[in-house]
Structure 1
Amino acid sequence: MLKLLRFLKGSAIVCAIIAPLMMVLEVSMDLLQPKLMASIIDIGVASNNKQYIFLVGSKMILAAVIGIIGGGGCSIFAAIAAMKMGENLRQGLFDKIQTLSFMEIDKLKTSSLITRLTNDVTQIQNMMLTAMRIMVRSPLMCIGGIIMAYTLSPKLSAIFLVSLPIIIAAVIIIMRKSFPLFLSLQKKIDSMNVVMRENILGVKVIKVFNIVSRQMDRFNSANDALRDGNIKAQNINMLLWPIVSLVMNVTVIGVLWLGGVMVNNNVLKVGVIMAFINYTIQIMNSLIMAVNIVINFSRAKASADRINEVFSMTPSIQNKEAAKDFKNYDIEFKNVAFKYNDSSEYVLKNINFSIKQGEKVGIIGSTGCGKSTLVSLICRLYDVTEGQVLIGNVDVKALNLKQLKDNISFVTQENTIFSGTIEDNIRFGNLDVDENILIDSAVDAEAYEFIMQKENGFQSSIEQRGQNLSGGQKQRLCIARALVRNSKIFIMDDSTSALDMATEARLQTSIKKRLQHKTMIIIAQRISAVMDADKIIVMDDGEISSIGNHEYLMKNNEIYRSIAVSQLGEEVERIG
């Protein structure tokens, strides 16, 4: 928890200092009230001195007004400090996530990261608000009440030596039991978020396959687990309420009994007993507040640990500030092997090949053979497990990440589209791109025609995840977004699968013309997309089966020949 206090900065620090001071003012006034009331009873009422009653009563009203100002001020400043800290923490966590490599993100899971950014940060925010109000008020009121009670009657206040240790022991025991439960509870929230996310994103598939009831059962199962976990965690904490209430009510009874005896023996006055009972009630209320603190702290501690887990992660892909210049843009894989983590199997093995600057290279192979993983190593979405990936005879690990990625345009397989306008999405590739280049990129990506058919052209709105676009339209926008970068290396990862043959042929011609002197790497399922490549890499089960042009592979590689025949028919062998 203390590690996260570094996000309390700027004006939030000032507010965090003022808030407890205002609470001290409120508590001081609250502690003053019973003593003033005792004076009214023992002096004013006992002697029927109306002037004294009015004078002390006025002091009580003034103390109450000052207490209200202190309490209100504390609430305002505490809220400002907590909200600003929450904002800073959420921003810091988001920025940290952006620095993590795919390996760390895969480990943490997307649903868990969303929970940490939202629910966990909210728990810390609420804890800070509680800390600056209740956590300040509770101990001050408890300690202050005991001191004030002691000044009234040291003998009577000895009763607290029995009640307070019982309550403190109960708080410690229940805290130890509740913390693991709240940690488990946050994981259950993660699990429910996974189910919700999959159901919302996959709603079309769910309806097509008519598995709504099955998915509802799955959600209900996750929801029930969250409910049961919540009940279990809250039930343990709620045990504090009856324990505190029982002990403090017994304490009040003890005060009345012992105090009554002392009044009868003329040791104490009635007003002192009344004040003492008020202090006892204040102490009891402060301890009940402590119960709230325990509940919030248990949950916030679990959330803080999850947030600190993200902050403590060291990205597996480290940036080199001292950039080395590219001598050229030749790409070479030397004895490369890769696996996603230590416990998984190798996805790529014994990868050796080179691509000269300006070459067009195709990569083809069966699903799951490692094609996408191979190209992701070039732009360091992942780092190799063994071997080296070189660009211009320089290991990509020795290059500045920004410099590396500025020289690579990557059209990913997922075709991610953001909400906004069509122009916004294309400009993601280059925010400062000239409008003419933006239009040319849309033309070359075969996107210009469908864009201009829309009512607002490039300013047409795109819904979240591009839901108002077809699969082919999304692919063409992603290609246009990559083209505006004008990078030296252009990678397309199966980015034309949703296009018809004629549109794909026109797009391939346009791109080839535009990227004449640039390195192109095209992953494709269709032979037609890579037939004219300078070299084609055939992948099989994480290894390179063969490398060559279309004619060579048709004669010498059975995998390539079988794919070609299955797609283009027997006549392709005669053409080859």
Structure 2
Amino acid sequence: MSLFFGSWAGITCSRASAGLAKNLRHDLFESVQGFSFSNIDKFSASSLVTRMTTDITNVQMAYMMIIRVAVRAPLMVIFSFTLAYMMGGRLSLIFLFTIPFLGIGLALVIKNAMPIFRTVFYKYDKLNASVQENINGIRVVKSFVREDYEFNKFNKAADDVRKDFTKAEMILAFNAPMMQFCLYLVMVFTLSFGSYLVISSHATILNVGQLSSILTYSFQILISLMMLSMIFVMVTMAAESAERIVAVLNEKSTLTNPEDPIYEVPNGDITFNNVSFKYSTKADRNALENINLHIKSGQTIGILGGTGSSKTSLIQLISRLYDTTEGDVLVGGHNVKDYDLVTLRDQVAVVLQKNELFSGTIAENLRWGNKDATDEEIKAACELACADEFIELMPNKYETHIEQGGSNVSGGQKQRLCIARALLKKPKVLILDDSTSAVDTKTDAKIRDGFKKFIPETTKIIIAQRIASVQDADQIIIMNKGTIADIGTHDELLARNEIYQETYYSQNKKDGDDHGNE
């Protein structure tokens, strides 16, 4: 019966622990999908990966040991002690004297080991961050022949983890000898004092059979406590992992739907009313300061500015990737905080600065913009984004497989595919965040010309480094240190704005004399 039920317990416990791990990963991933950018920034991508892998594995193993042993072992201790008391009476009470000693010892182990585990899991995060950074930038690593440097950096991080784990395991290792010392001390006392009772005049109190039974129960108590000791080690390690998992599950997104959201975006009007924004409450200064701006539906707006002028920060507030710190952003006459998030982001399509494609066919990647898009709609969007030019040359055309991250297409091709993907949303507002930087000027001009002809009612916001990409815009916004330095047409800014003049003439290779002749 023991063999049968033990085997059955092994099977059911394995299923239960694997199921728990699956459910935790499911809920953890679902929570992350609902996070805002600021939530993800708080944890970091590498830390979230560690929590979904290493931390959940620790919890899974501890849970399996708990449901297999943590019920059986205490019952064995209770039954063995009860029978030992029935056989030896007060002689068995010696077991009770070890409990305070064991309790104090275990408390000291926990107190010293837990902070180390807390530290080591954060070092795991850094280790995963190193791996992630290396793989994402492997082309740069190889082109600069920095493999040895990256290896040494990773080796140092791995060695830090090893040192901390060794230190923690050394502390936990005191657990087993402490248990053994107490129990063997009890057995020495039982053998000595029990033998004395058997051979003395008090043999009527305890006979050889009873003493033998007490020793048998002592071994059962020893085995049960050793099993509990093993669980204790695993639970101590898993406790910190569990806290890290719970921290993610309890994290609430900083962006949530209102109680009665708006499900329709009337048009592409955009208004900024006294908007200031910082990425973190701990930040020393605002990324955006006192922004006031109105964009009419259907207009084409260019945004120029140097690195760090907060161009991207400005447009991220329109699709509510972040919330304003002060002031309001309105789209279609309504505050973006009043919209249903899905509705808003479907109508405010953003092609981010860092374009991302996923493993799958070209058609599958494009249908991220509209999962129900027909083949004709896909082709029309690609023609508008000038992506059809290279897709038609591929052997399998729209069924051509894209490798993870789009590694088998060029930067310009990737950008055009991402623009086509955004166009399939048929948005009221289209934002291109430096999304044609890898495209040649001729193709860039064709894309902008196509926007004018085929999506005239869509508000188009183009962030660019090249003035050629925005000089035909209805209005050009000059950003400088998180503020709007100037707004005007190409001719107006060329006549009065120093930042625009400097950028224009540097790109057109003209000097100050030419400026005067202009």
TM-score band w.r.t. shorter chain: over 0.9
Gaps of 5+ in 1: 1-65
Residue 503 in 1 paired to residue 438 in 2?
Answer: no
Kindly provide the CA deviation profile for residues 474-531 of structure 1, in whole angstroms up to 9, marking residues without a partner as x: 1111111111111111110000111122222222222332211111001011111111
| Cα distance change on mapping 1:575 and 1:261 into 2, 3 Å | farther
Kindly provide the CA deviation profile for residues 177-201 of structure 1, in whole angstroms up to 9, marking residues without a partner as x: 2122211111111111111111121
Structure 1 stretches of 4+ with a deviation exceeding 4 A read 571-576
Please list, as runs of the form range in 1=range in 2, the aligned pairs for 1:426-465 lying within 5 A after superposition: 426-465=366-405
Check conservation: 2:432, 2:463, Cα contact below 8 A.
yes
> Which residue among 279, 287, 292 is the counterpart of 1:340?
279
Kindly state the Cα deviation for residue 158 of structure 1 after the two structures are TM-superposed.
2.1
Residue 472 in 1 paired to residue 472 in 2?
Answer: no
Residue 353 in 1 paired to residue 293 in 2?
Answer: yes
> Which residue among 240, 256, 259 is the counterpart of 2:194?
259
Residue 162 in 1 paired to residue 101 in 2?
Answer: no
| Aligned equivalents of 1:387, 1:174: Cα separation in 2 | 52
Residue 240 in 1 paired to residue 192 in 2?
Answer: no
Task: Tell me which amino acid in the other structure corresponds to 1:422.
Answer: I
> Which residue among 37, 57, 64 is the counterpart of 1:122?
57
Kindly provide the CA deviation profile for residues 60-98 of structure 1, in whole angstroms up to 9, marking residues without a partner as x: xxxxxx112222222222222222222111111111111
The corresponding residue for 1:363 is 303
Kindly state the Cα deviation for residue 466 of structure 1 after the two structures are TM-superposed.
1.4
| Aligned equivalents of 1:216, 1:417: Cα separation in 2 | 28
The corresponding residue for 2:270 is 331
Kindly provide the CA deviation profile for residues 40-60 of structure 1, in whole angstroms up to 9, marking residues without a partner as x: xxxxxxxxxxxxxxxxxxxxx
| Aligned equivalents of 2:413, 2:268: Cα separation in 1 | 31
Kindly provide the CA deviation profile for residues 324-344 of structure 1, in whole angstroms up to 9, marking residues without a partner as x: 344433100111111111221
Residue 535 in 1 paired to residue 475 in 2?
Answer: yes
Check conservation: 1:320, 1:401, Cα contact below 8 A.
no
Kindly state the Cα deviation for residue 261 of structure 1 after the two structures are TM-superposed.
2.6
> Which residue among 10, 14, 21 is the counterpart of 1:79?
14
The corresponding residue for 1:16 is none
The corresponding residue for 1:301 is 239
RMSD between aligned alpha carbons?
A: 1.8
Kindly provide the CA deviation profile for residues 374-402 of structure 1, in whole angstroms up to 9, marking residues without a partner as x: 00000011111111111122111111111
The corresponding residue for 2:252 is 314
| Cα distance change on mapping 1:573 and 1:357 into 2, 3 Å | farther
Please list, as runs of the form range in 1=range in 2, the aligned pairs for 1:144-293 lying within 5 A after superposition: 144-265=79-200, 266-267=203-204, 268-293=206-231
Kindly state the Cα deviation for residue 280 of structure 1 after the two structures are TM-superposed.
1.0
Check conservation: 1:417, 1:474, Cα contact below 8 A.
yes
Check conservation: 2:304, 2:476, Cα contact below 8 A.
yes
Kindly provide the CA deviation profile for residues 341-382 of structure 1, in whole angstroms up to 9, marking residues without a partner as x: 122121111211111011011111111111111000000111
| Cα distance change on mapping 1:275 and 1:364 into 2, 3 Å | same
Please list, as runs of the form range in 1=range in 2, the aligned pairs for 1:488-567 lying within 5 A after superposition: 488-567=428-507
TM-score, structure 2 normalization = 0.95
| Aligned equivalents of 1:74, 1:545: Cα separation in 2 | 71
The corresponding residue for 1:375 is 315
SS class of match (1:254): helix
Kindly provide the CA deviation profile for residues 292-342 of structure 1, in whole angstroms up to 9, marking residues without a partner as x: 222111122111211221222222222124223444331001111111112
Task: Tell me which amino acid in the other structure corresponds to 2:181.
Answer: L
Check conservation: 1:421, 1:462, Cα contact below 8 A.
yes
| Aligned equivalents of 2:482, 2:135: Cα separation in 1 | 33
Please list, as runs of the form range in 1=range in 2, the aligned pairs for 1:82-93 lying within 5 A after superposition: 82-93=17-28
SS class of match (1:155): helix
Kindly provide the CA deviation profile for residues 215-256 of structure 1, in whole angstroms up to 9, marking residues without a partner as x: 222112211110011011111011111111222222222222
| Aligned equivalents of 2:267, 2:439: Cα separation in 1 | 33
Kindly provide the CA deviation profile for residues 252-273 of structure 1, in whole angstroms up to 9, marking residues without a partner as x: 2222223323333444443433
The corresponding residue for 1:8 is none
Q: Name the % identity.
A: 39
Residue 113 in 1 paired to residue 48 in 2?
Answer: yes
| Cα distance change on mapping 1:256 and 1:164 into 2, 3 Å | same
Task: Tell me which amino acid in the other structure corresponds to 2:29.
Answer: F
The corresponding residue for 1:419 is 359
Kindly provide the CA deviation profile for residues 401-460 of structure 1, in whole angstroms up to 9, marking residues without a partner as x: 111112111101100111111111111111011110011112222222322322222222
Check conservation: 1:323, 1:403, Cα contact below 8 A.
no
Check conservation: 2:358, 2:365, Cα contact below 8 A.
yes
The corresponding residue for 1:55 is none
| Aligned equivalents of 1:514, 1:221: Cα separation in 2 | 56
Task: Tell me which amino acid in the other structure corresponds to 1:403.
Answer: T
**Bigger mean CA deviation after superposition, 118-127 or 410-419:** 118-127
| Cα distance change on mapping 1:275 and 1:462 into 2, 3 Å | farther
Kindly state the Cα deviation for residue 176 of structure 1 after the two structures are TM-superposed.
2.2
SS class of match (1:390): strand
The corresponding residue for 1:131 is 66
**Bigger mean CA deviation after superposition, 244-253 or 127-136:** 244-253
Check conservation: 2:56, 2:241, Cα contact below 8 A.
yes
| Aligned equivalents of 1:515, 1:327: Cα separation in 2 | 16
Kindly state the Cα deviation for residue 209 of structure 1 after the two structures are TM-superposed.
2.0
Check conservation: 2:351, 2:419, Cα contact below 8 A.
yes
The corresponding residue for 1:3 is none
**Bigger mean CA deviation after superposition, 117-126 or 476-485:** 117-126
Check conservation: 1:175, 1:294, Cα contact below 8 A.
no
Check conservation: 1:365, 1:538, Cα contact below 8 A.
yes
Check conservation: 1:421, 1:459, Cα contact below 8 A.
yes
Kindly state the Cα deviation for residue 574 of structure 1 after the two structures are TM-superposed.
8.9
Kindly state the Cα deviation for residue 161 of structure 1 after the two structures are TM-superposed.
2.4
Kindly state the Cα deviation for residue 567 of structure 1 after the two structures are TM-superposed.
1.2
Task: Tell me which amino acid in the other structure corresponds to 2:151.
Answer: M
Number of equivalences: 511
Kindly provide the CA deviation profile for residues 15-62 of structure 1, in whole angstroms up to 9, marking residues without a partner as x: xxxxxxxxxxxxxxxxxxxxxxxxxxxxxxxxxxxxxxxxxxxxxxxx
Gaps of 5+ in 2: none
The corresponding residue for 1:31 is none
| Cα distance change on mapping 1:517 and 1:95 into 2, 3 Å | same
